[in-house]
Amino acid sequence: MGNNLSIYRNLIRPALFLLPAESAYDLATVALRLSPLWRVIGAMNSFESSNIRTTVGGINIKNPVGLAAGLDKDCKVLPALSSLGFGYVTCGTVTLHPRPGNPKKRLIRDRSREALINSMGFPNKGLDSAVERIKRARRRCLDTPIVVSVSGTEIDDIVTCHRRLEPLVDAVEINISSPNTEGLRIFQEPDVLETLLNTINAGRSKPLFVKMPPFPRKTRMLRTTIPVENPQLEVGSGGLSGKPIYEQMLRMVSEMRERIGDKADINACGGVFTAKDARRVIEAGATTIQMLTGFVYNGPCVAPHINKALSNSLAETHGVGSIHELVAIKTRA
């Protein structure tokens, strides 16, 4: 697995990074349509161990490393992604109607810090397209739990997305975190968010996750991206992700866990690149970790690489026999 990471970082990534970031993303998406190839690659790099099995939202998962929303915006490469060793895969973000997203240039790399800055604005083909694509993917008997991310600027829009997609997936994530999507900030008001969640909870039957935005009061919400100003982005501002936000994300996970105790699961997203990163976040109180920028910089074999190292680390830790026990230490504190 380590050799595969080196091959990607030293040979494949430099070639991809010659392209503009969004062009490289489009090329990678085309490659991921070749699902038989990725099933072979996934099988060659597969790693499973009983000590990293855990649960999130009542869902049994093989490991705590999830793929964050944003890579498979249109839910069209789920068969390939589900072969790459993640504990779960998040597709989307899906909105009720198709969206072109913000004007380009809207995705840039900060290579020196292994980071991305994006102001994508949820480009996607809309709910009807997502429903059909997830149905087709499910017919291929995916054994990796699928989470779909949804968003919108109206409560009814998000509720409609949730109602139609929930039967097709294992969980739904509501994304209210984008700092560059016009109209989305209404759900950053606690009263409005509460109304939205109450409406969805009245009819839901599967786990519901909420991807939280930055909030000025440190323990109020869990941050996943940090708004930054950058002249290379067409709209002038975007979300910073990757290594630069890791330490701040770590502190926020700890603060959130201390605030809520064991009342809810926390999926932590922000700058996780290695097994050491993942373990520190779980020790801080996260139930699982999600990654996307780490996938971009380390390649498609990153999840099994992290999982193997995490499993070995747990095996060497006295008094902690599994990832579930590691999570429980903080939630009981």
Strand order in the sheet with 237-242: 107-110, 115-118, 237-242, 226-229
Q: What is the C-alpha radius of gyration for the chain, rounded to an integer number of angstroms?
A: 19
Residue bearing tokens 């909105």:
95
Catalytic residue among 178, 241, 254, 311: 178
Nearest partner of 78 among 130, 113, 118, 125, judged by Cα: 130
DSSP conformation class of 99: B
**Which two structure tokens, joined as six digits, stand for 222?**
């869990």
**Which two structure tokens, joined as six digits, stand for 256?**
């959130």
Secondary structure, 3-state, 120-166: CCCCECCHHHHHHHHHHHHCCCCCCCEEEEECCCCHHHHHHHHHHHH
Active site residue 178: yes
Q: At what angle do helices 323-332 and 275-284 cross, to 10 degrees?
A: 30
Q: What is the number of alpha carbons within 13 Å of residue 142 lying toward its C-beta? A: 28
Cite the active site residues.
178
